[in-house]
């Protein structure tokens, strides 16, 4: 089976009231989120975009201090009989319990 391209969007819902400090420890390290997502996408094997989105959301929620995470995964070249632009799934999950861990 030939690997197919995916497009992934991640939206983090975070209390940023402390971010005015301009200190990375008071927010989420987006480069760390990117590396986590890239690792899941590049190293994992998923038949369903729902499973990929769920794995990404779960790992982010377990690794970073977020109130909620929303993940969208698009598959522009899904094997479907007909014209379409893309197939997409979007899901939300509550954040984990990583108190004090901004990633």
Per-residue pLDDT for 1 more than 80? no
φ and ψ at 93, to 5 degrees? Answer: -135, 145
Q: What integer pLDDT is reported at residue 2 of this predicted model? A: 63
DSSP string, 32-57: HHHHHHHHHHHH---S-HHHHHHHHH
For 69-98, write each residue's pLDDT tens digit: 999 999 887 778 888 888 899 999 998 755
Q: Which domains does the chain have, with CATH numbers?
A: 7-94 (3.30.1130.10)
Q: What is the mean pLDDT of residues 33-53?
A: 94
pLDDT for 42 equals 92
Q: What's the pTM?
A: 0.84
Q: Give the other-Cβ count within 10 Å of 68's Cβ.
A: 14
Which residues form the catalytic set?
Answer: 75
Compute the CA torsion angle 77, 78, 84, 85 (nearest 10 deg): -50
Residue 12, strand partner residues: 69
């Amino acid at each position: 089976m030939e690997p197919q391209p995916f497009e992934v969007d991640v939206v983090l819902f975070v209390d940023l009231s402390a971010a005015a400090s301009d200190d990375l420890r008071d927010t989420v390290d987006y480069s760390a989120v990117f590396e986590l997502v890239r690792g899941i996408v590049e190293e994992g094997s998923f038949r369903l975009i729902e499973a990929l989105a769920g794995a990404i959301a779960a790992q982010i929620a377990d690794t970073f201090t977020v109130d909620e995470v929303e993940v969208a995964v698009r598959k522009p070249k899904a094997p479907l009989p007909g014209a379409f632009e893309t197939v997409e799934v979007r899901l939300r999950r509550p954040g984990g319990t990583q108190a004090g861990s901004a990633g």
